[in-house]
A = this chain, B = another copy of it.
Amino acid sequence: MKFKSTILVTIMLICGICLAQTNTTVVEDFKPSSVNQPGKQYPQVNSERRVRTSISAPQALKVQLDIGGVKYDMKKDEKGVWTGESNPQDEGFHYYQLNIDGASVPDPGSIYFYGASRWGSGIEIPAKDQDFYALKNVPQGKISQHNYFSKITNAWRRCFVYTPAEYEKNTSARYPVLYLQHGMGEDETGWPDQGKAGIILDNLIAEKKAVPMIIVMDNGYASKPSQNAAPARGPAGGMQTFEEVLIKEIIPMIDENYRTFSDREHRAMAGLSMGANQTIQITMNNLDKFSYIGGFSGTSNFPRTDEIDPATFMTGKFNDGAALNKQIKLFWLGLGTKEPNPFPGSVGAFKAMLDKKGVKYKFYESQGTAHEWLTWRRDLFQFAPLLFR
């Protein structure tokens, strides 16, 4: 046993050395991430799209960088500072965390974002097409935060509303509205923060590629007090009641407080993942209120990948393709080429069902991205120009 252990340790050491040797090929052109806290030097990203971070933890036995589902061991220097880097990551935004002697914590160097049901670290890997979501010297819209009390959930909720730059100037103009939803484990901060929805629209509107519009970003979790003892806001609550809150409370609040066009021709809804599922359910239940539908990396058959029977799926709402084509101005489906199962299968089965019934839709593929925010930023960038034309 002792001998075997020694061999095992030797093999592990050799592997460790191999790993270390691999690491010596890391390109040393790391720069601080664009979403670091002010003045913080770490985390950093290099031209290979590796993430390197560093933290002082003199008494720690083990510190790991946990990103993209992999935990990378970091190394301690003589001052007790641990440093380490990941393998190359996909372009775009990723959530990540540190693990210090078994404790999963945010990296003190990064700005924090809400995702994976927690406030935690995020990092930006520069993307080839990052210009479309870069802050530019164009007329800037603004994003407003509203607190409101929901009688349905008997709880306070929060809503972010993007208004385009011209909204404050053209004080008699009315605007169409896009309701835009986050995914599972995220909240109403997803689209304004890591989604960069306001910046994407400012840039599109400045180039006259999109019609000036209002975007409403609310929290997709909502449950009645009877449905869940946990707080109704955030992933701790359920999502049983979101449709009712959206239709009966959020839309009337927006139409009352903003200069909107309130007919179905001027109202769109889109969402990512869980939000896509919700979007398809809610818009199909309320076609008198919506005429544009966007499903980013998600469909209402999720997580099933088997063939959909339109006669029974969603109580037959997709049965009459010709009628739907008259009502729906745009049915958008998007997917990253690197998305994991079951997304390709479930979106594929949904598309096949639409094809079978002759329901028109546009399908967009984001190249080289997974079930992450660069996929959804690109979706919004491609989807928004098609709205309200």
Which A residues have a C-beta under 8 Å from some C-beta of B? 37-39, 55-63, 80, 98, 100-106, 108, 111-112, 117-120, 135, 137, 140, 142-149, 156, 161, 168, 171, 187, 192, 198-199, 230-231, 233-237, 257-258
Task: Identify A80's interface contact among B56, B102, B143, B171, CB under 8 A.
Answer: B102
Measured CA separation A294–B213 after assembly (Å)? 39
Measured CA separation A220–B83 after assembly (Å)? 33
A204 → chain B closest CB, angstroms: 16
Measured CA separation A237–B257 after assembly (Å)? 38
B135→A39 contact, CB < 8 A: no
Measured CA separation A119–B80 after assembly (Å)? 23
Measured CA separation A146–B59 after assembly (Å)? 43
B103→A38 contact, CB < 8 A: no
B119→A135 contact, CB < 8 A: no
**Chain B positions within 8 Å of A55 at CB level:** 103, 105
Query: Can you show 16 pairs from A to B with CB atoms below 8 A apart?
Result: A38-B236, A39-B236, A56-B102, A57-B102, A59-B101, A59-B102, A60-B101, A61-B61, A63-B103, A98-B105, A100-B100, A100-B103, A101-B101, A106-B108, A108-B120, A143-B144
B108→A135 contact, CB < 8 A: no
Task: Identify A39's interface contact among B63, B117, B145, B148, CB under 8 A.
Answer: B117
Give this chain's copy count: 2
Measured CA separation A156–B138 after assembly (Å)? 12
A17 → chain B closest CB, angstroms: 23
B100→A57 contact, CB < 8 A: yes
B147→A145 contact, CB < 8 A: no
B140→A147 contact, CB < 8 A: yes
Measured CA separation A108–B118 after assembly (Å)? 8
**Chain B positions within 8 Å of A168 at CB level:** 257-258
Closest residue of chain B to A149 (Cβ to Cβ) is: B137
**Chain B positions within 8 Å of A102 at CB level:** 56-60, 80
Measured CA separation A118–B37 after assembly (Å)? 7
A234→B60 contact, CB < 8 A: no
**Chain B positions within 8 Å of A140 at CB level:** 146-148
Other A-B contacts than A59-B101, A112-B112, 5 sampled, CB-CB below 8 A, are A38-B233, A59-B102, A60-B60, A108-B120, A140-B148
Measured CA separation A59–B103 after assembly (Å)? 8
